[in-house]
Structure 1
Amino acid sequence: MKKIDQFLFKSFIGPFVITFFIALFILVMQFLWKYVDELVGKGLEIHVLVKLLFYHSMRLVPLALPLAVLLASIMTFGNLGEYYELTAMKSAGISLFRIMRGLIITAVVLSIFAFVFSNEVLPWANLKSGSLLYDIKHQKPTFSLREGIFNNSFDGFSIRAEEKDEDGQTLKDIMIYDHSSRKGNDLVITAKSGYMYQTSDRSAIIFKLFDGHQYREIPPKTLKDNSFEHYRTRFESWEKVFDLSEFEFSRVDEKFFKDLHQMLDIVELTKAIDTISIERSRIAVKLDKNTESVILAERYKLAVDTIINKVGSNDVVSLLRTVDPKKRKSIFEKANFKAKNMKSFAGMAGRQLERKNRDLVVHWIEWHRKFTLSIACLVLFFIGAPLGSIIRKGGLGWPFFWSIIFFIIFHVTSISGEKMAEEMTVSPFFGMWMSTFILFPVGAFLTYKAANDSNLFEARAYRTMFTFVNRVFGKLSKRIETTN
């Protein structure tokens, strides 16, 4: 039996490793396709891109693992069925569950690994990847001057060149708007020609202009004065140095991201959930205390006989008529003021409660995610292994087809459940476990069918079933005709 377990493990581990890295590669390519606009034109160094891809690939490991387990299990048992090795084992009196036992243990180990990875490594990868991607998004594009288009890359300047030679340096009909004073375009430089070049240490770019003018407007010194002084200065040669340090890639301190729910492990998420729940309870208690009714009647007591004699009905207006007119105005003003305050406070508290509820939901979603992706490895194994033994096809044909079908079902239901949980349509528990609730019965059904040598995917079985159904309906129709 140990030889069978070793044989199955060797048959499983090869397709698993290959499938895992292929799935990871596809998911990373999807990430690149999504953020290609954020990465291109930023002048990023190779090591920055390599870091980003490495960190993000770590984030995708829990998603690639279930797909690899599913496809590898279908391929392993499909090959066993195709070459009648599975039939030989069953003929020797070995049950399907005993055949699967070694790989079940492997799937459990992979599930435990997925949980540990999601809890220990994934928060670190989320922090590194998220902070690095944030810095890249806020990185300025490299300076590139295009013909006839204003370039605003340098803070406080707009630069345009009508023509640019093939050497990439010689410029013609240049215009520079200098609004670095934050008072509008009070300085404009024009030149017939010029060229630009970088310093030897690439720390600055220099524009050297020829045969041009400077136009400057000086604002009035007083608000009453509406006159603007205008100066025009002609130059033969003029240089402007622009610092390139603002284009250098800089990092934001990671501590600004470390408290986000994606960066927390199980223990930290549990503490955060408790803290948010306590804060939510405090807001609710404070709301109850501040919206208690303030009974002004205690301040303006009247005798019972006076109320009975003067109040013609039970409405508030009739009751207020019994109050002194001077005090009545005060009651109206205080009641109106109190009602407005209560409305304002209730609205503010309601918005705070809504934010806390959403924070609580996203933390619970992240808490459940630690478990759902690891359990998915086990559930998809119990779909893939019996499915492979039923279809009895190895290779990458049918196994790949069925693995894609079931993985799409798993992924779509997972995403849909998470979205519904985020929108508070369903509870975080149900939303995050919805895919498991759907696929677990499928796995149990397929395992039962495979254990009983079901011909679930054989056309002959369905032809027999349809023949039986037609025969039954034929007999029923004849009886109905005879009765009529």
Structure 2
Amino acid sequence: MILIKYIIRNHIIPFLFACVVLISIFLLQFLMKFADKLIGKGLETIIIVKLIVYNLAWMVVLVVPMAVLVATLMAFGNMSQNNEIAIMKASGISLYKMIIPPLISSILIAILLVYFNNKIYPDANHAARLLMEDITRKKPTLSLVPGVFSQDVSSYAILARDVIQESNELKDVTIYDYSNPPKVNIVTAKEGKIFLVPNQKKLIMDLKVGEIHESDIYRQNVYRRLRFTHHKIAMPADQFTFEQSTPGGPRGDREMGAAQMLAIVDSINKVQSSYQKEFNSKIDQIIDKKFNYKPIDTTSNKYIYVKVEQRLRMLENGFTDVLNRIEYNRKEINRYMVEVHKKYALPVACIVFVLIGAPLGTMTRKGGIGMASGISLVFFVIYWAFLIGGEKLADRDLISPFVGIWSANVFLGIVGILLLIKTAKEKVTLNFEFITKRIPKSWKSSDDEIENN
């Protein structure tokens, strides 16, 4: 019991440390990606905090399996470096027994992660999507790109040669106004300012020094040109108003639990069976040639041939239509089943990574974060290459969703079991001299000085 507690305790701190570091990396990447959509919108702090919290859900799903591998490598690497593995083996405790505590812990983590994937992760994804859609409507100038027409405002096309985000100022503005058909107004101005009214129901374009060109498609001989020094245009601003949406409405495949997606798949399968019957019926019609046409002119078969050809074309069009519907439904089923399998395959990866991390940590005899991160990175790349490749192939109906998603776990699981058997039977040590030999001597000396200090 003391040994079990000791092994688990060696895993806890590296696991928490790896979680914090990896989440921080993902969070930094997220903030860098969406910073331009958040800065300068006058959002309350609580809104930004909500957005970050909601997006932590997908980060947790990816981070936890990674952290398990890093923690296992560090824990067994430390114990091997301190000769604790050798002492336990000399005491009659095999590597198989040493791996039982982290293996049981990984199973518990996998069960919790399955619950998280089905109950918390979908709702968080749904809330994050709604909140991001609400935020993108907050500031009108952020939808304007200098030199590019924007049609975000209904019935208007807006072009500005220069956009100053901080002050909402626009330079060399051109506006096409289609709000009053059949008339078309073209407004040009040297400069302007765009802002929302206090109730955020209208978008005001405050323009200075420009012209209004007005034409009517029903009165082509009439053309008006007005010059102004100051002109305001009121536009609808529903798409720029920040009103936090309430949860509800349609959800994507990553915004539902496995049970919900399986229910949708079951419904699609029922529709698919009806399409399959229709498909088989059309095949039978083509094979059996049940046209039942009676010629008007019995002395000539020309009429029969024409009608038969028309009927065949109709059958071919109907055949193609049903085939397209079957193909679409099959891809939809695959898309949902890929997400269903991912909700269970990623948690199971925690168990697989323990099988890999324990023997590799013992073999490397290094428990530092550098060594653990380097080895982990290799297996992460392999795992995600299998997972992403399998997902794409399954979405395209080239392989089954089960094979596409679970192949990574199966492959790495077999590798882990083989490494575990080999390490348990004999003492195997991995050294990286072929890498260290290529490191410049000046780097080595500086590293040695740091270690000595």
| Aligned ranges 1:355-370 → 2 under 5 Å | 355-370=328-343
Q: CA deviation at 1:164?
A: 10
Residues 335, 239 of structure 1: alpha-carbon distance in 2 compared, 3 angstrom cutoff: closer
**1: distance between equivalents of 2:152 and 2:366?**
59
CA–CA separation in structure 1 for the residues paired with 2:58 and 2:358: 27
Map 1:56-455 onto structure 2 (within 5 A): 56-136=55-135, 141-142=140-141, 155-157=154-156, 178-183=177-182, 185-186=184-185, 188=187, 214-220=212-218, 226-228=220-222, 230-232=223-225, 238-241=231-234, 246-250=239-243, 254-258=247-251, 260-293=252-285, 295=289, 324-326=298-300, 328-455=301-428
Count residues with an aligned counterpart.
430
Maintained 8 Å contact 1:296/1:331: no
Equivalent residue for 2:438? none
Alpha-carbon offset, residue 339 of structure 1: 0.6
2:2 is matched by which residue type in structure 1? Answer: K
| Cα distance between partner residues in 1 of 2:200 and 2:269 | 54
Q: TM-score, normalised by structure 2?
A: 0.80
Q: Which one is further off, 447-456 or 367-376?
A: 447-456
Matched residue SS, 1:90: helix
Distance 1:242 1:369 in 2: 45
In the TM superposition, what whole-angstrom CA distance separates every residue of 1:220-257 from its partner, at most 9, and x where no partner exists?
45xxxx422x3455667655455655421245665433
Distance 2:343 2:148 in 1: 50
CA contact (8 A) 1:41 1:141 kept: no
Contact 1:210 1:238 in 2 (8 A): yes
Q: What is the TM-score when the length of structure 1 is the normalising length?
A: 0.76
Deviations 1:2-23 (A, max 9, x none): 2222222222111101101221
Structure 1 285/450 Cα, relative in aligned 2: closer, same or farther at 3 Å?
Answer: same
Q: Give the 3-state SS of the residue equivalent to 1:292 in structure 2.
A: helix
Q: Return the alpha-carbon distance in structure 2 between the equivalents of residues 263 and 247 of structure 1.
A: 25
Q: Distance in 2 between matches of 1:163 and 1:358?
A: 45
Measured at CA, do residues 357 and 11 of structure 1 come closer, stay the same or move farther in structure 2, by a change above 3 Å? Answer: same
Deviations 1:423-473 (A, max 9, x none): 22211111111111211121112211222242242589xxxxxxxxxxxxx
Partner deviation per Cα, 1:290-325 (whole Å, 9 max, x = no partner): 34336568766xxxxxxxxxxxxxxxxxxx9xx933
Q: Secondary structure at the match of 2:141?
A: coil
* Gap change, CA 1:150 and 1:387, over 3 Å in 2: closer
Superposed, 1:46-65 pairs within 5 Å as 46-65=45-64
- C-alpha contact (below 8 Å) 2:160/2:173 kept by paired residues: yes
Deviates more, 1:149-158 or 1:364-373: 149-158
Stretch moving more, 442-451 or 209-218: 209-218
> Which residue identity lines up with residue 221 of structure 2 in the other structure?
S
Q: CA RMSD in A?
A: 3.9
**Equivalents in 2 of 1:68, 1:36: separation in Å?**
27
For residues 10-56 of structure 1, give each alpha carbon's deviation from its aligned partner in whole angstroms, at most 9, with x where no partner exists. 22111101101221222233344455565566665443333222222
Q: Distance in 1 between matches of 2:261 and 2:162?
A: 58
| Higher alpha-carbon deviation: 131-140 or 66-75 | 131-140
Cα distance in 1 for residues equivalent to 2:90 and 2:361 = 18
C-alpha separation between the residues in 1 aligned to 2:161 and 2:422?
Answer: 75
Q: Percent identity?
A: 28
Distance 1:211 1:38, change over 3 A: closer
Contact 1:70 1:403 in 2 (8 A): yes
Letter in 1 for 2:346: L
Query: How is 1:11-26 mapped onto 2 (pairs within 5 angstroms)?
Result: 11-26=10-25
1:193-221 CA deviation, whole Å, 9 max, x = no partner? Answer: 88777767777676666776655445545
- Structure 1: 5+ residue runs without aligned partners? 301-319, 461-484
Distance 1:295 1:145 in 2: 61
8 Å Cα contact 1:179/1:187 also seen in 2: no
Write the deviation string for residues 136-166 of structure 1: whole angstroms up to 9, x where unpaired.
Answer: 556664369999998766544566789999x
The alpha carbon displacement at 1:127 in A equals 2.1
Q: Say if 1:16 and 1:296 are closer, same or farther in 2 by CA, change over 3 A.
A: closer
Closer, same or farther in 2 for the Cα pair 1:276/1:93, shift >3 Å?
same
Amino acid at match of 1:290: K
Distance 1:370 1:402 in 2: 25
- Structure 1 range deviating more: 357-366 or 341-350: 357-366
The CA distance in 2 between the partners of 1:385 and 1:150, in whole Å, is 58
Point out the more displaced range, 195-204 or 112-121.
195-204
Moved more, 144-153 or 14-23: 144-153
| Residue type of the alignment partner of 1:227 | N
Letter in 2 for 1:324: T
- Between the aligned partners of 2:106 and 2:278, the Cα distance in structure 1 is 50
Q: What letter matches 1:247 in structure 2?
A: F
Which structure has the bigger radius of gyration? Answer: 1
What secondary structure sits across from 2:93 in the alignment?
Answer: coil
Q: Report the secondary structure of 2:382's partner residue.
A: helix
Gaps of 5+ in 2: 434-453
User: Distance in 2 between the 1:69 and 1:211 partners?
Assistant: 65
